[in-house]
Amino acid sequence: MENILKGKKGLIMGLSNATGMGYYILENAIAQGAEVAVSYTGEAMGKRAIPLAQDAGAALIYDCDVTNQEQMEGLFEEVKKEFGKIDFIVHAIAYSDKSELKGKYLNTTEANFLNTMNISCYSFTKAAQVAEKMDVLNDGASLLTLSYLGGERFVTNYNVMGVAKAALEASIKYLAVDLGDRGIRVNSISAGPIKTLAASGIGEFKKMLTYNEANSPLVKNVTADEVGKSALYLLSDLSTGVTAENLHVDAGFHAIAANKMD
């Protein structure tokens, strides 16, 4: 099936680099006919994100700090000027001090806890709030964010980010109810471990990749492109009956409770 997003317009928040899931969602969305605006955060990130967005064919590229209300409103103002109303928002944003993504969660500082929750979780709710307030979303639109199994279970060296992802997955359910009367769907993708810039902050990440590959039902690690393709389903009209869902794109690893035995 081709051009399943033809005629759709959307925003992808949090473009960072060519290995990130946001970039692969962008590529796949444009390849399937969507017109897409992109946001990134800060000058340093922009040096990588702007050329990527331009090469992919993004219609609008905007610097937005999601902790800044004025910048968030400015982003959606520009999106509305460019597109009018839009059909999807992808939230590909997460951050925590990597020095606290090791050792014990018990030692999490209050400052990093609040900052992690604000950027990694609340910014998704804030995006929905601002979009609703400014009347940017079409009825039947799709909101999508990115999670990880560490929000459901303990994962070594994930710590406060796991707590933030758990809160993010709960937020999806509540937003799905709040926006459901307009046919707006709210979902997340829980991707398996992928070698991205964000993942580089997780201690012993290579061991995690090796373990997941050996123990997932498909005996492999997923790619960012596979996540991008799965996102197409949740952004398109193929999933009009799906909301409040956390779709695992992890080669089935989430279903495994113990190592496979020879």
Active site residues: 148, 158
3-state DSSP helix/strand/coil % of the chain, to nearest 5: 50, 15, 35
Bridge-based pairing of strands 185-191 and 246-249 is: parallel
Distance CA 147, CA 92 (A): 9
Strand stretches in 133-245, DSSP E? 137-147, 185-191
CA distances from 60 to 80, 81, 119, 198, 234 (A): 11, 10, 22, 24, 22
- How many angstroms separate the CA atoms of 148 and 252, rounded? 13
Q: Which helix (H) or strand (E) holds 22?
A: helix 21-31
Q: If you count them, how many residues does the chain have? A: 262
Collapsing DSSP to helix, strand or coil, 31 comes out as: helix
